[in-house]
Amino acid sequence: MYERRGMNARRMDFEEASMAKTLAVASEPNTGIEKLKSGPERLIEFLKDTRNELRKVWTPTATEVRSTTTVVIITVFLFAAYFWAIDNIIGHTIGALLDKLTKH
């Protein structure tokens, strides 16, 4: 279709697809009755799109699940230790400051 295939051709394909979608949206029915009549067609199209998207879904292997779970657990403990340390430092600092300010 195009003399040069590559980025320009892909961009043109994308632009043509965008234009077709724009025209399809612009030509949708405007009245309630027409929308009601087009309901089953829209539902079928939605179900086809859903099925195509579900074909892209994959299930991780047991090894992947184990490794990502390990990373999450280690990260949670590291953050817990960090926030515990920061909380203690701030708490002791505020406590010392209040003790110093309340002594006469």
Q: What is the pTM of this model?
A: 0.48
**Structural domains of the chain, count:** 1
- Residue 56 falls within a domain, yes or no? no
pLDDT tens-digit profile of 34-89?
777 778 888 899 999 999 999 999 999 999 999 999 999 999 999 999 999 999 99
Residue 28 belongs to some domain of the structure: no
Q: Is residue 37 part of a domain?
A: no
Range(s) of the domain holding residue 96 = 61-104
CA separation, residue 96 to residues 8, 85, 86 (Å): 68, 16, 15
Q: Which two tokens stand for residue 58?
A: 């994959």
* Lowest-confidence region among 23-37, 46-60, 88-102: 23-37
Q: What are the backbone dihedrals phi and psi of residue 30, each rounded to the nearest 5 degrees, phi first?
A: -105, -25
Q: In this structure, is residue 22 part of a structural domain?
A: no
Which CA distances in Å does 103 have to 53, 98, 99, 100? Answer: 68, 9, 6, 6
- Gap between the Cα atoms of 70 and 78, Å rounded: 12
Q: What is residue 3's three-state secondary structure? A: coil
Residue 49 lies in a domain: no
Asked whether residue 13 is domain-assigned, the answer is no
> For residues 20 and 50, which has the higher predicted lDDT (pLDDT)?
50
* Domain-located, residue 12: no
Greater pLDDT, 4 or 76: 76
